[in-house]
């Protein structure tokens, strides 16, 4: 007679990181990655390998202010986080202990919150949308060397109104193959819900804001790079929409530098309004992510 598997609890972590010195989110043997550092810290505390699932994988050099992950523990492992001190809550104790384990990252990776996830929660598939921002400086006089690690210094001036007009042409549900690096078996169809640029009246800094149900690999950087080419006059008005319609990834698909990109926020359904919303969203997202 087989022994039943122990009951599992799902833990949600909210975290932020400076991606400058990491080779992206995903674990790569012999290379520093955010996932590698996080899972090494968890293994020190849980005393076994712990595999994390992330809301959105980021490329090398990309940052996150509002990243979300989940992982599963047995009930005994969750309780043992407090080292059997019954007066302690495992959630804040995990934040404290994991922050200590990650001190070697010298502040580049910060854990903001831990919690038991609601029923049906999946950090990746339950998400309603993700938002990113991208910072550009197009004026040498206004550049701040203290922000150079997080800002794209563009050599020529940009027309923000023109870029906003281009950005509006690709809003909605489309196949973003032109602006994505496809993954085997996955679709490049996404709903781009918000895409626009604003210039700070004081600093002159241009910030791009993008929101979508999900972003495929390289999508944000490719969209920003294409729109910038119109904003600098290198490409004609309507070029971005034409590239989208062409559905071809070629030498004209360029990527904006990664260091100016930040994952800002991941939004999920409210389980207090609908207890089944998280699981339903995850099931629906999984079905849509398979290329037909």
Positive or negative: CA dihedral 207, 146, 158, 234: negative
CA angle 107-108-114, nearest 5°?
80
Average pLDDT taken over every residue of the chain: 94
The pLDDT of 61-77, averaged and rounded, is: 97
- Which run of H or of E encompasses 193? strand 189-199
Percent of the chain with pLDDT over 90: 87
Confidence of residue 18 (pLDDT cuts 50, 70, 90): very high
Whole-model pTM: value is 0.93
Dump pLDDT digits (tens) for 236-283. 999 999 999 999 989 999 999 999 999 999 999 999 889 899 999 999
| The predicted structure's pLDDT at residue 291 | 46
Residue numbers annotated as active site: 59
* Least confident window among 128-132, 186-190, 217-221: 186-190
Percent of the chain with pLDDT over 70: 97
- Residue 206, strand partner residues: 136, 199
CA–CA separation, 49 and 46 (whole Å): 8
| The predicted structure's pLDDT at residue 55 | 97
Confidence of residue 2 (pLDDT cuts 50, 70, 90): low
The total number of residues written for the chain in this structure: 292
| The predicted structure's pLDDT at residue 202 | 92
Query: Residue 157 pLDDT more than 50?
Result: yes
| The predicted structure's pLDDT at residue 287 | 77
Query: Residue 6 pLDDT more than 90?
Result: no
């Amino acid at each position: 007679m087989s022994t039943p598997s122990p009951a599992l609890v799902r833990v949600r972590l909210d975290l932020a990181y400076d991606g400058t010195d990491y080779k992206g989110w995903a674990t790569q043997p012999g290379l520093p990655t955010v996932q590698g550092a996080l899972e090494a810290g968890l293994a020190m505390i849980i005393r076994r390998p712990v595999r994390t699932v992330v809301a959105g994988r980021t490329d090398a050099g990309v940052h996150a202010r509002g990243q979300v992950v989940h992982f599963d523990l047995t009930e005994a492992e969750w309780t043992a986080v407090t080292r059997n001190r019954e007066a302690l809550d495992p959630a804040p104790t995990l934040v404290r202990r994991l922050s200590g384990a990650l001190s070697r990252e010298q502040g580049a990776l910060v854990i903001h919150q831990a919690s038991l996830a609601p029923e049906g929660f999946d950090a990746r598939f339950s998400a309603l949308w993700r938002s990113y921002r991208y910072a550009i400086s197009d004026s040498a006089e206004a550049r701040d060397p203290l922000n150079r690690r997080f800002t794209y210094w563009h050599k020529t001036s940009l027309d923000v109104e023109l870029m906003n007009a281009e950005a509006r042409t690709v809003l909605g549900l489309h196949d973003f193959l032109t602006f994505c690096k496809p993954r085997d078996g996955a679709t490049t169809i996404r709903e781009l819900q918000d895409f626009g640029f604003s210039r700070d009246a004081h600093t002159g800094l241009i910030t791009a804001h993008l929101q979508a149900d999900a972003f495929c690999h390289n999508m944000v950087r490719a969209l920003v790079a294409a729109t910038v080419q119109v904003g600098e006059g290198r490409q004609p008005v309507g070029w971005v929409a034409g590239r989208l319609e062409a559905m071809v990834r070629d030498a004209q698909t360029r990527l904006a530098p990664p260091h100016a990109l930040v994952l800002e926020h991941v939004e999920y359904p409210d389980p207090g309004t609908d207890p089944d919303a998280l699981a339903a969203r995850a099931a629906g997202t999984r079905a849509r992510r398979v290329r037909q």
